[in-house]
Chains A and B, each alone.
Chain A
């Protein structure tokens, strides 16, 4: 049900870039997080961002989700300029992008089903029934079909994160941003979440940008791995090569520490 989505296929031209960062700078006061960053992500590509903490990986996702504004440079999404838009157009452009957060951020005042139907009803204008049907399909996909009428606070972290994934997918985004989605989970709950994401990566053509410390997962789903350090991409390549024979010394050190 995720793949046969005609709306998504027509709105997107076949071979083009999903995301372009062009000389993007992000500073907080004197501190430069991203330093004239250039990179592209093709449509349907799965890209994993790795690197030491503080290297700007999460900032990239937050810029794409418009939770932060660029200091300099241009971000394009689906070939359209994305940074510096007025709030109204920004809200429209944002619909193409979904995000899953480290802390899940489910709405505790709504049941699981309502968490998922909220945006499709309020933003896409779906009827309650349509949205509920979509939500139930997605809950099925993430293995939580029986939790529709439960409040999120009653779920484990892993279950909450799977609901958060379903909630993001309910908007049928072209691009899914995954920000350390397993970092806040107890170790025994990590696998369930990663399995769900693997299934989604296999069953859909959604573009994924993923910040993670789960190198096994990165190897499984990524088409390309970008190594960040000091606000720049210092090395990139397919996961097989990046993990087995990294060229850059910083990459070797980093992988040596986490693998």
Chain B
């Protein structure tokens, strides 16, 4: 399974024609204590760049964009009750949603783990 990263600090685990999406450890660290997460409903059609989810820290609200296009298969319901999972396990149990990939070519522009590490080091 390949993991990709975006400049908006999302991670994307690709498994065949579907993907799991969340925000990176760097992103949760920047946001601080997360108190609310809204994930998309199953069946929602997303175009790359659409608003897909909302994450709110004590301080502020941020949008999470769809890093690729496709149909949402499932949102992580655990986050409604336990938004703090995004702080404690951002790249594991704190995933946001799973979706199908309607255009795998969209993955080409994304970063791998090493490129993302260099990217955040440059910020």
The answer to whether A and B belong to the same complex is no
Binding site for B on A (CB under 8 A): none
Binding site for A on B (CB under 8 A): none
